[in-house]
């Protein structure tokens, strides 16, 4: 990726610094750049960064917060698009995860690969929990179709699908060439979720 000097409009330096960090995160990873590089990318002096961020982790946390905002919106849109079918809504939220990782790699890395905790600040925790809650809501509606004595906790089901989605992204969508799958990530996730739901009895074996 070619580094380019970015300008900024008066009053928007904070956002320009976040966007500069996102470019560097995509290029070098969350620990592969300095605040001085982010400042240079944004076209300002290093001292200007400290008027907005305490350090690099603070800058990455803001990139993650903005990522969770986008992610939460995508998850909610996918959930609503699938309704009134609980199954369609549940499957759509899984696909939204892959779509987000592909379209917003800098945000994705900031959120899931930077080591920045979602509990770092209340705003970050709030937007992260909103995204998690959408998948859990979809799982709750889907589990309602099972007898109570055979119904796993919705939080557990949503965690399983979250982990499956994350694994497909990490291994086969963003992984090294040696781990590339001969199947599209969307197909891997869809069949994986299908097998999981068949095991719960939510999809007929021949569906």
40-82 pLDDT per residue, tens: 988 888 888 888 888 889 999 999 999 999 999 999 999 999 8
Q: Using only C-alpha atoms, what is the Rg of the chain?
A: 19
Domain 1-53 sits in CATH at: 1.10.10
**pLDDT recorded at residue 155:** 92
Average model confidence (pLDDT) for the chain? 87
Residues 174-194: tens digit of each pLDDT? 655 556 677 888 899 999 999
- Domain extent listing, the chain: 1-53, 57-200
Class of domain 57-200: mainly alpha
Work out the average pLDDT over 115-122: 91
Q: Is residue 84 reached through a cis peptide bond, with omega within 30 degrees of 0 on the bond before it?
A: yes
Taking the CA atoms of residue 36, residue 40, residue 44 and residue 49 in that order, the dihedral angle to the nearest 10 degrees is -30
What percentage of the chain exceeds 70 in pLDDT?
89
């Amino acid at each position: 990726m070619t580094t380019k000097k970015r300008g900024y409009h008066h009053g928007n330096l904070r956002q320009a610094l976040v966007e500069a960090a996102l470019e560097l995160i995509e290029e070098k990873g969350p620990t592969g750049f300095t605040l001085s590089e982010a400042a240079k990318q944004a076209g300002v002096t290093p001292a200007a960064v400290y008027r907005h961020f305490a350090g690099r982790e603070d800058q990455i946390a803001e990139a993650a917060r903005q990522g969770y905002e986008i992610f939460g919106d995508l998850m909610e849109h996918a959930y609503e698009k699938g309704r009134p079918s609980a199954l369609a809504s549940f499957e759509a939220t899984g696909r939204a995860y892959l779509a987000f990782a592909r379209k917003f790699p800098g945000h994705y890395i900031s959120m899931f690969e930077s080591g920045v905790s979602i509990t770092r600040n209340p705003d970050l925790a709030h937007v992260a929990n909103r995204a998690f809650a959408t998948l859990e809501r979809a799982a709750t509606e889907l589990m309602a179709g099972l007898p109570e004595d055979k119904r796993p906790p919705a939080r557990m089901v949503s965690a399983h699908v979250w982990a499956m989605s994350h694994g497909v992204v990490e291994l086969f969508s963003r992984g090294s060439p040696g781990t590339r799958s001969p199947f599209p990530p969307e197909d891997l996730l869809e069949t994986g979720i299908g097998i999981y739901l068949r095991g719960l009895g939510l999809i007929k074996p021949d569906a």
